[in-house]
Amino acid sequence: MFAMSKQDAEQVSEAEIAVHWGEEKLIQPSPEFIAQANMTDEKIFERFSLENFPDCFKEYADLLDWYKTWDLTLDTSEAPSWKWFVGGLINASYNCVDRHLAQYKNKAAIIWVPEPEEESHIVLTYQELYVRVNEFAALLSDKTGLKTGDRVTIHMPMVPELPVTMLACARLGVIHSVVFGGFSGNACGERIADSGSRVLITMDGYYRSGKLLDHKVKADEAVKTANKEGQEVEHVLVWRRYGDRNASEAPMVKGRDHFVDELLPAYRGKRVEPVQLPAEAPLFLMYTSGTTGRPKGCQHGIGGYLAYAAATSKYVQDIHPEDVYWCMADIGWITGHSYIVYGPLALGATSVMYEGVPTFPDAGRAWRIAEQLDVNIFHTAPTTIRMLRKAGPDEPAKYNYNFKHMTTVGEPIEPAVWRWYHEVVGKGKAVIVDTYWQTETGGFLCSTMPAIHPMKAGSAGPAVPGIHPKILDEDGNEIPRGANKAGILIIQNPWPGQFQTIWGDQERYVETYYAKFNKDPKSKDWRDWPYIPGDAAMEAEDGYFRILGRMDDVINVAGHRLGTKELESACLMVDAIAEASVVPVNDEIKGKVPDIYISLKPGFEASDEIKLAVVKTIEESIGKIARPKNVWIVPDMPKTRSGKIMRRVLASISNNQDVGDITTLANPDIVEEVRRMVQGK
């Protein structure tokens, strides 16, 4: 349940101090950039004003091809689950593939860069993408019987077969749920069960930091976990990294597991008509972490989502069909869905995909790829920027590439890091957009419009067209615009990219994102349902928003959300552990990482084995991404008199900050003991 306690409200002001970087100067986009930009008309903000809501979004939907135009722009009858472009018929696969054939069939849709530098790139032209998507769609419906409305879980690394698989599902109206390849088999299995998938599509292996990792082994764990939760997996389709050999040692289970490359020849030349689907039918689920242990399957609809992804790709990313666009995210996260696959391909662009680690085999790799492919739009996250800067602060200057546009996304970026990105990576020429959004929102909420607004380091910028935020205090009172005061960010209106519900849990959807400021739960008027992203923010005088971070029990690690409850319940699987508390600790590269405090059951002694068991359990139940910075075994947790663990106190200790007033705690002495253990003095 979303409820910000007094304590959490205190954290907002802590966040404000922590992330307050002072005002930065404004930097104008270059005349060269403006001259070629897709959107230079400031009037777009008038066209997308609240007076013109919701019909203004026709402008976005018109970027797509529809089998039938919609009758109603926004249907609020199931508020706060919004249905966009109702009555319209559409197919996402058709929009991302077929419709480009007439003009662009011989143009690169996807350029895939394998991690081993000696391996050749793979280029899929739109024609080739069309053929592969069709053949795989034919295989899917024939071999597995998947049909419109069914869910399928896809657990794949960054290979070109991943977008092929997604677009094949979209063609059939099968709802895909892509699980980040780095997640454990167990985490994948939970998502299989939650989504009710009876088919899992995976890969035998992939390269990461020079090693060919066995990935298929995770599928076996995933099926086991799903089974335990009551979901049977009938088919496991396994793509292979190399056509002629198997990168995994995991055995193939007879009758259940199939190598895709062995099945595909039977479907050569097969074509599958894209299914004409209602605009509001679900396109995919994307799981994200929340306050309670169970991950949430965010459901995105076809028409609204695709219109929003395409339009923001065109106007905020400034993608033209002739650009070479490289988003170095993973398709297993929402960024990859919207801004590697659906947005760029809907526009007929060339989207670059990279298999591996940005600094492998050395700090120049990313810039060599950019030089070789003549990438001109580059999109990545602060974590990666910090990593690249640390590994090779002078590397970009050695390579001859030319970015016109760069993006940073996923977490706040420090002005110093922003400036390196601008001056060194962008060579002082590229514009930068700092895009603020979330899994739930499908596309950007805040960002400068690159040819219209100047850039400001450390600020996400104003709201994008059609998004109308406000900042409220704890009681729902509006904090005056431009007051530079921290509060709760809300969006007053729905927009087409917004998710439709949490899969199978409408109640949690309403509770988490809307209940706090809704006065009439029966209302069908969108004005009564401000959307709550869960972030604290402040708005500067110039209307630029600075995002201060999460207000819930969620840690943003390297730009991705991890629920502290998920980590804590994983810890409790280790037999010796009585209590666990997870707090965010600042990290030079990843922004934040989890620090874990555990106390032991009577009869157990603190030991390195227990610490190692905690790390191993977390890696197995969630994935390496959740690996803690430290595991502290403490004699007891600081607690309130009612027995609540004071995470705030532990977080202050981990971050070398003052613990504040602890006189009301049940056991104030323990704080000093823990502090000495962690800070060593």
Write out the residues near ligand WT7 by the rule CB under 6 A: 288, 334-335, 409-412, 434-439, 460, 533-535, 547, 549-550, 556, 559-561
- When the beta carbons of 223 and 585 are compared against ligand WT7, the nearer one is 585
- When the beta carbons of 544 and 632 are compared against ligand WT7, the nearer one is 544
CB of 542 to ligand WT7, least distance (A): 17
**Given CA atoms 191, 193, 199, 205 in this order, what sign does their dihedral have?**
positive
CB of 411 to ligand WT7, least distance (A): 5
- When the beta carbons of 91 and 441 are compared against ligand WT7, the nearer one is 441
Dig out the tokens for 543 from the structure: 């209307």
Strand ranges for 436-559 from DSSP E:
455-456, 469-472, 487-491, 501-502, 535-539, 545-550, 554-557
Q: Which helix (H) or strand (E) holds 593?
A: strand 591-600
- When the beta carbons of 240 and 546 are compared against ligand WT7, the nearer one is 546
- When the beta carbons of 14 and 411 are compared against ligand WT7, the nearer one is 411
Residue with tokens 């504040």: 660
CB of 534 to ligand WT7, least distance (A): 6
The Cα 536–Cα 15 span in angstroms is: 8
Burial readout 296-322 (b: 16 or more C-beta within 10 A, e: otherwise)? bbbbbbbbbbbbbbbbbbbbbbbbbee
Sort strands 282-288 and 296-301 into parallel, antiparallel or unpaired: antiparallel
The Cα 625–Cα 615 span in angstroms is: 11
**Given CA atoms 530, 531, 532, 536 in this order, what sign does their dihedral have?**
negative
- When the beta carbons of 334 and 464 are compared against ligand WT7, the nearer one is 334
- When the beta carbons of 108 and 377 are compared against ligand WT7, the nearer one is 377
Other C-beta atoms lying within 10 Å of the C-beta of residue 252: 16
CB of 547 to ligand WT7, least distance (A): 4
- When the beta carbons of 466 and 533 are compared against ligand WT7, the nearer one is 533
Across-strand partners of 546? 538
CB of 382 to ligand WT7, least distance (A): 8
Please give the backbone phi and psi of residue 170, each rounded to the nearest 5 degrees, phi first: -60, -35
The Cα 11–Cα 18 span in angstroms is: 10
CB of 580 to ligand WT7, least distance (A): 23
Residue with tokens 């907002």: 12
CB of 611 to ligand WT7, least distance (A): 28
- When the beta carbons of 136 and 531 are compared against ligand WT7, the nearer one is 531
CB of 288 to ligand WT7, least distance (A): 5
The Cα 303–Cα 278 span in angstroms is: 8
CB of 312 to ligand WT7, least distance (A): 12
CB of 31 to ligand WT7, least distance (A): 26
- When the beta carbons of 88 and 426 are compared against ligand WT7, the nearer one is 426
Other C-beta atoms lying within 10 Å of the C-beta of residue 102: 8
- Name the DSSP class of 142: I
The total number of residues shown for the chain amounts to 681
Dig out the tokens for 119 from the structure: 């391996």
Other C-beta atoms lying within 10 Å of the C-beta of residue 362: 11
- When the beta carbons of 241 and 296 are compared against ligand WT7, the nearer one is 296
Strand ranges for 445-540 from DSSP E:
455-456, 469-472, 487-491, 501-502, 535-539
Contact 202, 258 (CB under 8 A): no
CB of 400 to ligand WT7, least distance (A): 29
